[in-house]
Amino acid sequence: MIKNIIGRLINRNPAAPATRTHNSLFIPARRRFLCTCGCGMFYVTAAGAGLLAAATRAEAAAGGAIIRVGHLPAGCVSHLLLAKARGMFAKAGLNVVLTQFNSPADSMQALVSNHLELIHSPWTMTAAAFTAGTTDLRIIGGSGQAGIELVARNGSVKSVEEFIDAAGKGLRVGTLRLDTLELVGYGTMSQHGKSYDDYRMTFFPSMIGMGEAIANKALDVCTLAQPYAEHVVAEQGATYLTDSNSVWGPEAADCVISTRIRTIDQKRDVLKAYLSVLQESARAFSEDYEAVLNDLQPVYGVPRPILSVALKRQFPNPVIRQAGVSGLRRGAEYLAELGYLKPGVIDTVLDLKYQPA
């Protein structure tokens, strides 16, 4: 259902030009790129999944209140995974059952189908699903901040200024539809009076394809999230041009925590406890970052130097403050330009009174 809704939103988008989609142009050297870039390790590893499963068993044994949570394999849930690995949910009387999704639309589908109570996913997906008619959705807290990157391949443009100057000259740009990834690309264009008509756009089904295209020199610029973005930059000599903080910051929420009104009504105290644990976990990143890396590196499975950079660029944002709300409104304006949202949707979908102080 959600995929059909998102499809209708995309198809009605009046700002989108006719574009190429992911095809065999980007397949050569796939195996080589997966090995050198490590993007296959972008997903939570088997060893990491084992650690998280053991934590869930401990939470169940302690008799904690069950809450089913979906998340994506990205840096925006680092504090969630840390809380899980450190047994913080069990201490708070919670049994958090995690399900990893590789698609925001799939996690949203699970939420609206009552298979989950909460999801950590891009706020753009929640706002779009609300706009399309799922009006009982609410965003109750933040998850990650920044870390949505505009990246250029080695030998292409080296700055936002060069990116804008290349408008109308055939620069090849890749992104994902209706995602914070699309927002960082389009928002950068819009800030400087440019649009998709000024670039050769390709819309991909996943970040992996864009990373391959950068490696194969089939794209000049693309949008990526951490920690995958740092893999591409480190292994392919790519360049960071700008990020979400520059487009809809300064406190640019990327993933947020979304739920439904029925869950709020039924599990209000559980939600408050869950959000408090995430805030406590997020503090650890500033208190002892090296210890955080020790706990998270086995979960993410990426090389420590890459993870160290990635989780500083996309760091926890468990509480959306007023500056963050203003940023979401700013980002929603770009999505309204693209035809996805109606103005004012952010103020309707936000319900932040359950956040800890």
Q: Which residues contact 108 (CB under 8 A, 6 or more apart)?
A: 2, 119, 121, 125, 126, 129, 258
CA-based nearest residue to 167, from 207, 139, 134, 194: 194
Both 165 and 192 in a single domain? yes
**Exposed (0-12), middle (13-18) or buried (19+): which is 11, by Cβ within 10 Å?**
exposed
Q: 2-29 pLDDT, tens per residue?
A: 555 555 555 555 455 544 543 323 333 3
Reading the block at residue 305, the tokens are 């130097």
**CB 297 within 8 Å of CB 304:** yes
SS3 325: helix
pLDDT of residue 335: 93
CA-based nearest residue to 224, from 182, 164, 192, 191: 182
> How many domains does the chain contain in total?
2
Both 236 and 211 in a single domain? yes
Phi, psi dihedrals of residue 54, rounded to the nearest 5°: -65, -40
* Assigned domain for 2 exists: no
CA-based nearest residue to 258, from 90, 136, 162: 136
* Assigned domain for 355 exists: no
Instruction: Round to whole Å and give the CA distance between 259 and 341.
Output: 19
Reading the block at residue 182, the tokens are 């699309």
**CB 156 within 8 Å of CB 221:** yes
Instruction: Round to whole Å and give the CA distance between 116 and 263.
Output: 10
Both 213 and 93 in a single domain? no
* Assigned domain for 120 exists: yes
Q: Where are the beta strands (DSSP E) in 289-351?
A: 314-316
Both 132 and 151 in a single domain? no
Q: With b meaning 16 or more CB within 10 Å and e meaning fewer, what string describes 270-280?
A: bbbbbbbbbbb
**Exposed (0-12), middle (13-18) or buried (19+): which is 51, by Cβ within 10 Å?**
middle
**CB 33 within 8 Å of CB 232:** no
Alpha-carbon torsion, ordered 291, 297, 302, 303, to 10 deg: 50
Both 275 and 313 in a single domain? yes
* Assigned domain for 356 exists: no
**CB 255 within 8 Å of CB 119:** no
Q: What is the CATH number of the domain that holds 318?
A: 3.40.190.10
Q: 261-305 pLDDT, tens per residue?
A: 999 999 999 999 999 999 999 999 999 999 999 999 989 888 999
Q: Distance between alpha carbon 282 and the CA centroid of its chain, in Å?
A: 17
- Give kind and range of the element (H or E) at residue 173: strand 172-175
**CB 342 within 8 Å of CB 336:** yes
**Exposed (0-12), middle (13-18) or buried (19+): which is 95, by Cβ within 10 Å?**
buried
Both 68 and 202 in a single domain? no
Both 272 and 186 in a single domain? no
Q: Which residues pair with 100 in a beta bridge?
A: 71
- Strands 200-203 and 172-175, bridge-based pairing: parallel
CA-based nearest residue to 318, from 163, 135, 88: 88
Q: At what angle do helices 78-85 and 289-300 cross, to 10 degrees?
A: 90
Verdict on whether the full-model pTM lies above 0.85: yes
* Assigned domain for 305 exists: yes
Instruction: Round to whole Å and give the CA distance between 55 and 89.
Output: 9
* Assigned domain for 94 exists: yes
Give the residue ranges of the chain where pLDDT is below 50. Answer: 14, 18-19, 21-42
Both 256 and 141 in a single domain? yes
Task: Show the domain range for 35.
Answer: 18-40+147-248
CA-based nearest residue to 75, from 38, 44, 45: 44
**CB 232 within 8 Å of CB 136:** no
